[in-house]
Structure 1
Amino acid sequence: MTIAEGATLPDVVLHRATADGPEAVQSKDLFSGRKVVLFAVPGAFTPTCSIKHLPGFINKAEEIKAKGVDEIFCLASNDAFVMQAWAKSENVGDAITMLADGDLNFTNGTGLKLDLRGKGLGERANRYAMVIDDNKVTHLAVEEPGAFDVSSAESVLASL
């Protein structure tokens, strides 16, 4: 079952890319007591993710944070090393915190999985964006497979 607006997020282990390498973090610790935006992509270095989704949030990060958002997270079904390399290649800097969901703990817990088996990509996070306030989903925008519209930085900004 897919998580809905008003629901509490699952408390699972994610991995954050840091200068010192991967760091295991509990999702509850990241999202409790603050307002954050989390957007998910099927995979780092993939075309839409690298050309549109991540760059849009980099470009709009200051505007989003000016609306009372404490932090912006990018989640992908990759490992933390890949997320770190992607952040470096896209000059993410401090604008966005990169989260690895390589075991699909968060993806499965939210029901936001995209099945790309048979296309050589396996099971991945669907493309979506959510606004989280104190570990509760206050806005959720899930893309149809292959689409990129409702989860863009511009759409999230309009929802804040």
Structure 2
Amino acid sequence: MIEKGNAIPSVRVKLIGADGETTDTTSDAILGTGRVAFFAVPGAFTPTCHVNHLPGFVANEAKLKAAGIDRIVCASVNDVHVMKAWAEASGAVGKIEFLADGNGELADALGMSKDFSGSLMGKRFVRAAMLVRDGVVESVFVEDAPGVTATGAPAILMALEANPS
């Protein structure tokens, strides 16, 4: 798994930007400039991700930016169409950018992939978050049990207070 001090790998992804437009890009291009709050979820529209994880980042966008975050990025192993629909349905457009990791290549490159075949979901991201500055990982947070505690917006805000920009 990626660790503090590691550089973000370069993997092809699709970005749904703050303007709601979709572009082809790479993970290092998105996470490589400024200070980024990155969080990864097992699936768009899945109950915990949709109800407990994403809404906290949407609600705390201004606080995260006031704490020194330049961009907030959410990733999932879903296709770009699902990720765009999720961004729109969640009211996140203009606040959070979304990376569609359709093949799970970024999840693999970060060492954050998990086999959810038992739930008929295939390979997905583990529930995780990172603080990244100019393409280098500052902190990594991974949930060790179901739910959102270590990787939610409140935990990221606490980490930022402990390590301000």
TM bin (shorter chain): over 0.9
Q: Percent of aligned positions with the same letter in both sequences? A: 35
Give, as a single letter, the amino acid of the residue that structure 1 aligns with 2:15. R
Kindly state the Cα deviation for residue 91 of structure 1 after the two structures are TM-superposed. 0.9
Coordinate RMSD, CA, aligned: 1.4
Q: Which residue of 2 aligns with 1:98?
A: 98
Q: Tell me, in whole angstroms, the C-alpha distance in 2 between the residues paired with 1:77 and 1:152.
A: 18
Once the two structures are overlaid, the 10-residue window that deviates more, 14-23 or 128-137, is 14-23
Unaligned runs of 5+ residues in structure 2 are 161-165
Kindly state the Cα deviation for residue 5 of structure 1 after the two structures are TM-superposed. 1.1
Q: Which residue of 2 aligns with 1:56?
A: 56
Kindly state the Cα deviation for residue 20 of structure 1 after the two structures are TM-superposed. 7.6
Q: Which structure 2 residues correspond to residues 7-46 of structure 1 after superposition, within 5 A?
A: 7-17=6-16, 22-46=22-46
Number of aligned residue pairs: 159
Q: Which structure 2 residues correspond to residues 97-136 of structure 1 after superposition, within 5 A?
A: 97-136=97-136
Kindly state the Cα deviation for residue 68 of structure 1 after the two structures are TM-superposed. 1.1
Once the two structures are overlaid, the 10-residue window that deviates more, 123-132 or 29-38, is 29-38
SS class of match (1:14)? strand
Unaligned runs of 5+ residues in structure 1 are none
SS class of match (1:62)? helix
Kindly state the Cα deviation for residue 86 of structure 1 after the two structures are TM-superposed. 0.6
Q: Which residue of 1 aligns with 2:74?
A: 74
The alignment's TM-score, normalised by the length of structure 2, stands at 0.91
Structure 1 segments (4+ residues) deviating >6 Å? none
Give, as a single letter, the amino acid of the residue that structure 1 aligns with 2:12. V
Q: Tell me, in whole angstroms, the C-alpha distance in 2 between the residues paired with 1:29 and 1:111.
A: 19
Kindly state the Cα deviation for residue 23 of structure 1 after the two structures are TM-superposed. 1.6
Give, as a single letter, the amino acid of the residue that structure 2 aligns with 1:110. L
